[in-house]
Amino acid sequence: MTDQGVWVAAQYAMPSPVRTVRILLYVAAFLTFMAALQGGLVVGGAEGAGVAVALSLPAVASLVAAWAIGRRPARRVRVGVIVLEVLYLFWQFGRIADGDPLGVMGVILPVAILILVNRSAARQYFSRASRAG
């Protein structure tokens, strides 16, 4: 590999806030899949399967976002992560309104992701990647 190739790779290296966002998106996907499984089992039957599939959609979106951050980072990916996390916040606020005490804990993960994805290094990373590609 040439010196310039090493420089280019280092220039577009994923900063630690973005790496942390990817990890947290995978964690969010796992927890959401577990919530979907629980919801499906509680309801049971065909209706429970439908509930599980519906609740799995945000998990799939989290997996796609984590994949996209690693493969094709762009401003639209960052915006997609922000929109996804705002939707997660609405979901958790609904849980809180229903009296579910775990909803308060569920707010922590989306807030952490929103903070990290809006850090200067993350914004620059997504902007540079958009201009480079």
pLDDT of 33-45, one tens digit each?
Answer: 999 999 999 999 9
- Look over the chain and give the mean of its residue pLDDT values, rounded to a whole number: 88
13: pLDDT strictly greater than 90: no
pLDDT band per the 50, 70, 90 thresholds, residue 82: very high
Q: Pick from 81, 80, 89, 83: which is nearest to 110 by CA? A: 89
Taking the whole predicted model, whether its pTM rises above 0.95 is answered as: no
Residue type, 86: V
pLDDT bucket at 7, cuts 50 / 70 / 90: very low
Q: What number of other Cβ atoms are within 10 A of residue 37's Cβ?
A: 14
| Backbone angles phi and psi of 98, in degrees to 5 | -80, 0
How big is the chain, counted in residues? Answer: 133
Beta strands in the chain (DSSP E): none
Residue 28 neighbours by CB under 8 Å, 6+ apart: 58, 59, 62, 88, 109, 110, 113
Stated as kind and residue range, the H or E segment containing 98 is none
